[in-house]
Amino acid sequence: MRIGVVTFPGSLDDGDAARAARIAGAEAVRLWHGDPDLHGVDAVVLPGGFSYGDYLRCGAIARFAPVMESIIDAARGGLPVLGICNGFQVLCEAHLLPGALTRNQHLHFRNRDQWLKVEATNTAWTNGFTPGQEILIPVKNGEGCFVADPATLDKLEAEGRVIARYVRGNPNGSQRDIAGITNEAGNVVGIMPHPEHAVEALTGPSLDGLGFFTSVLRALAGAAAGGQLAGGQQ
């Protein structure tokens, strides 16, 4: 399986995301922001960082990169896409996910290991977890406060589209402690903390992040065997 990792000008975590994909057992394929060719990848990760300097709004300019036009089309067709941190912001700006990420409520950049509770496990990127499982992965953001209007938040909750919530402390003021969400089909997931930084004992606080990458491989293997993508309709 080939997992593409996009590099925008200002991406920081593309190397770690590619490494996490390899540790999970995938072939990591580097994708360039200016190249609309997805090189036949089976899934895509939009990594963390400060694409285009975070000018205007985080993710607002990256959303118009040539590679994003292809990813937006492919995501609507079912391609699994995971946006981490800045990648989550890009997915919201691209309207593949609802809501927006705004300045942390307390204005401070937060960099710490963060406990999350996994909720929706019927997505392409979370099917390897159990509902209610608590995981520990790093969070590091200045603009990670998830906001949406009350109707959108209610819809996300009613449809079981919150994939993880902050527990033991909300690091950025996100509404309803939301750390990550999925689209209706379950193939597009955005998460503010960084699973790619928690994939081996030497460098991470846990191995919990690996579950996102092994989940998508399992979803793809299921799809290849003729089953529906694990992140398909409920």
Task: By CB under 8 A, name the binding residues for other proteins.
Answer: 56-57, 60-61, 64, 92-93, 98-100, 102-107, 145, 147-149, 173
Q: CA-CA distances (angstroms) from residue 148 to 12, 66, 152, 169?
A: 27, 27, 6, 20
194 belongs to the catalytic site: yes
Rank residues 94 and 219 by Cβ distance to other proteins and give the closer one. Answer: 94
Number of neighbouring beta carbons within 10 Å of residue 209 = 27
**Among 33, 58, 85, 145, which one carries the catalytic annotation?**
85
Alpha helices (H) in the chain, listed in sequence order: 14-24, 66-76, 86-93, 150-158, 210-224
85 belongs to the catalytic site: yes
**Among 33, 58, 196, 197, which one carries the catalytic annotation?**
196
196 belongs to the catalytic site: yes
Q: Provide, rounded to whole angstroms, the least separation between the CB of residue 103 and other proteins.
A: 5
Q: Provide, rounded to whole angstroms, the least separation between the CB of residue 152 and other proteins.
A: 8
Radius of gyration of the chain (CA): 16
CA angle 191, 44, 38 (to 5 degrees): 150
Write out the E strands in 27-86.
27-32, 43-46, 81-84
Q: Determine the 3-state secondary structure of 207 from DSSP.
A: coil
Q: Provide, rounded to whole angstroms, the least separation between the CB of residue 61 and other proteins.
A: 8
Q: Provide, rounded to whole angstroms, the least separation between the CB of residue 113 and other proteins.
A: 24
Rank residues 50 and 212 by Cβ distance to other proteins and give the closer one. Answer: 50
CA angle 6, 97, 66 (to 5 degrees): 35
Q: Provide, rounded to whole angstroms, the least separation between the CB of residue 149 and other proteins.
A: 8
Rank residues 93 and 196 by Cβ distance to other proteins and give the closer one. Answer: 93
The rounded distance, in Å, linking the Cα atoms of 51 and 59 is 6
Rank residues 22 and 57 by Cβ distance to other proteins and give the closer one. Answer: 57
Q: Please give the biggest Cα pair distance in the chain.
A: 48
Rank residues 42 and 93 by Cβ distance to other proteins and give the closer one. Answer: 93
Task: Name the residues annotated as catalytic.
Answer: 85, 194, 196
